[in-house]
Structure 1
Amino acid sequence: MKLNRRTIFGTLTAGALAMSMAACGGGGSDDEGGSGDLASGELNASGASFPDAFYATAIEAYAEVNPDLMVTYNATGSGTGKSEFGEGLNDFAGTDSLVGDDDGVEAGSFQYIPTVAAPITVSYNLPGVDGLQIDQETLAGIFQGDITAWNDPAIAAANPEATLPDTAITLAVRSDGSGTTTNFSKFLDEATEAWTLGSGDTIEWPGNAVAGEKNTGVAQVIQDTEGAIGYVDLADANEVGLVTAAVENADGAFVAPSLEGATAALDGAVVEDDLSYNPLNAAGAEAYPITAPTYLLIRTEYEDADIAAGVKEFVEYLLTDGQELAAEADFAALPAGLQEQALEALNSTIAD
């Protein structure tokens, strides 16, 4: 059954925001540093490495709001996070890709909660060559192994002023099941005619690929390998100082990865009834074309009421005060309309 679509435009109502802020931090700590009526205990989560920098920043800040609830997020990759969620091994999971039949999660037992979005960069290591532009069809040709040298005419055509060496191209890809891989391959699958490798958490890459674990592992492969090119989130690319390419978007403009470009892509996206959405190759001259969403999976039922209360409180924090931390971790905050929808879904999924 095809889901109805709703645009993500809108304004977060003052009532919804005030209610959520009260739940997150308005319980008030006493003069001795206690946390009043706020939740306590431990939450264990695992999943996507793509949003790890944001979650690490938010968890650190949240500890100042409520030191009695300890939140641990283990960046195992989307595939492992979804699997562990289905097996009941975590309290909530992070994922950049949607749940599939082989993820071990019973249908109807979870709710997607979008949190932030960010560019998936196309980063490369080619000394002396900065500011490359790569069109969509050429990018597909590179990553499926049709284009194997940096001085290939297809790359040169978009970079007439660059002096391109005949260095062999090494693809830096993920070794683990990854939502970053899903979104990158989905972009190539949807945007190009050339792409033949499909899309998913894992891809059968050509023989010139070198795999790294998590986004940090891909970034390390790129950093260590002259001639490498790979896909990695903006936060990890910035962390190690990788050089990134401008990628052709749906309007034919070459756009470098940035939070502004990600925000422009979100403005053109729509959200499904289950709160999933697709900002890839969004229209708009300023939109960065490989902008990826990320979600938390929360349970529709928690056996432990304390865990349920803790999950609700922490996720409300991510959707309110936590949004103000997104930019410092190289992530784009949710548009107001989607933020409101996520809060409504959280409140209806985990009732007080």
Structure 2
Amino acid sequence: MSFTRIGSAAAVAVVAAVLLSSCASNESPAPAASGSTAALSGTLNGIGSSAQAAAETAWISGFQSANSGVTVNYDPQGSGAGRTSFIAGSADFAGSDAALKDTELATPSPLCKSGTKAIDLPVYISPIAIAYNVQGLSTLKLDADTIAGIFKGTITKWNDPKIAAQNAGVTLPTAKIVTVHRSDDSGTTFNFSQYLAANASTVWDAPASQTFPYKTGDAAKGGSGVAAAVKAAPNSIAYLDESAAKGLGIAQLKVGSAYSTISAAGASDVVEKSPFETGRAANDLAVAIDRTNTDANAWPLVLVSYLIVCNEYQDAAKGALVKAYASYVAGSAGQTAGSTAAGSAPLSSAVAAKVATAIATIK
């Protein structure tokens, strides 16, 4: 079997644990992921989102257990690298925490049949954590303006009045805040900055971007790199896919007039209530996340991660293999495996049905 390649020792340890649980859960062969009895064979190469890494490991394990003639490789270089590689034709599919831009849709992969475009398939929903490493600080509440000030560099001390006002009775250190952001082109950064642009525009005066927009703090590559940096740096804070934030404190997020605790259910509910982007093909399911959702327990600081694939491949056999893999990933078995491995939210039944309809169009 061929599994994800992760770039840090810490990530390898996490993925090893995932593999053990994933393999245990797949001791009984699963039904053929293609939905038929036809044997599948061949190799798929994917590049992309580091947030998807743990889920991809579980998906690959489950899919290959059901299809012994198939090898799936996934390299979590980051969302930007995934989209670039897919468009260049060096990856059969991409994992990305941001849907393809219009300019990217206009430049299809050479793997796609001439005259056709790529499509975005939402397969992974996860809350983004505001994760911190501050000794003795077991609870932390933050609103969007304060988060924006911390990462922009205008709030520099842990006992700043804006933080203290939201954390009555909590002893905050006088220490300097160490922020850590992604150094690479990142869908997690895009979702984080999109949330702040929508909810803290008077502080966060940069548009949503896949590269961190301010020259502040420390930087690290990939979610695993950011997590390792925060764990190594006292008094630090970062934004991370929740799957990468294990072992760190996670702040509560002010949503409306109350504070929400991070949850996959709160993230999933926001996504289900959000519309799809307009002006795209019917089978391109890019989600226009409602970042201003204020429902009780909502978590609008959420990322939707996509499989980006050709709607129609030049190589029909490759198309059939991609279709089978996507079907497994978005199906109930794949969603259960991914959520167990990564703590992500399974697709709601309504979203899953739309994704299945889109996958059926892949050739």
TM-score by length of 1: 0.86
Say if 2:47 and 2:91, in contact at 8 Å, map to a contact too: yes
Residue 97 (1) aligns with residue 98 (2):
yes
Question: Could you tell me how far apart the structure 1 residues matched to 2:215 and 2:183 are?
Answer: 13
Say if 2:185 and 2:211, in contact at 8 Å, map to a contact too: yes
1:117 maps to 125
- The verdict on how the C-alpha distance between 1:307 and 1:184 changes in structure 2, with shifts beyond 3 A counting, is same
1:58 maps to 59
Residue 248 (1) aligns with residue 259 (2):
no
User: Which residue of 232, 235, 239 maps to 2:243?
Assistant: 235
Question: Could you tell me how far apart the structure 2 residues matched to 1:109 and 1:62 are?
Answer: 26
Q: CA deviation at 1:26?
A: 4.5
Q: How does 1:133-152 map to 2 (within 5 A)?
A: 133-152=141-160
- The verdict on how the C-alpha distance between 1:72 and 1:270 changes in structure 2, with shifts beyond 3 A counting, is same
1:257 maps to 262
**Structure 1 outlier segments of 4+, above 6 Å:** none
Q: CA deviation at 1:187?
A: 0.2
User: Which residue of 134, 137, 143 maps to 1:129?
Assistant: 137
Say if 1:40 and 1:306, in contact at 8 Å, map to a contact too: no
Q: CA deviation at 1:186?
A: 0.4
Q: Secondary structure at the match of 2:134?
A: coil
Question: Could you tell me how far apart the structure 1 residues matched to 2:265 and 2:178 are?
Answer: 29
Q: Secondary structure at the match of 2:276?
A: strand
What is the RMSD of the two structures over their aligned residues, measured on CA atoms? 1.8
Say if 1:25 and 1:65, in contact at 8 Å, map to a contact too: no
Of 103-112 and 227-236, the range deviating more from structure 2: 103-112
Say if 2:181 and 2:212, in contact at 8 Å, map to a contact too: no
Q: CA deviation at 1:105?
A: 6.0
Deviations 1:248-275 (A, max 9, x none): 12x2221122212222323422223531
1:68 maps to 69
TM-score by length of 2: 0.83
Q: Secondary structure at the match of 2:147?
A: helix
**Structure 2: gaps (5+ residues):** 1-29, 109-115
Say if 1:144 and 1:196, in contact at 8 Å, map to a contact too: no
Question: Could you tell me how far apart the structure 2 residues matched to 1:26 and 1:299 are?
Answer: 20
Say if 1:247 and 1:254, in contact at 8 Å, map to a contact too: yes
Q: How does 1:1-352 map to 2 (within 5 A)?
A: 24=33, 26-28=35-37, 37-100=38-101, 103=104, 106=107, 109-192=117-200, 193-207=202-216, 209-238=217-246, 241-249=247-255, 251-272=256-277, 273=282, 274-277=284-287, 278-320=289-331, 321-328=333-340, 329-350=342-363
Question: Could you tell me how far apart the structure 2 residues matched to 1:88 and 1:72 are?
Answer: 15
- The verdict on how the C-alpha distance between 1:101 and 1:137 changes in structure 2, with shifts beyond 3 A counting, is same
Deviations 1:68-91 (A, max 9, x none): 111111101010101111100010
Aligned residues with identical type, % of pairs: 32
Say if 2:261 and 2:297, in contact at 8 Å, map to a contact too: no
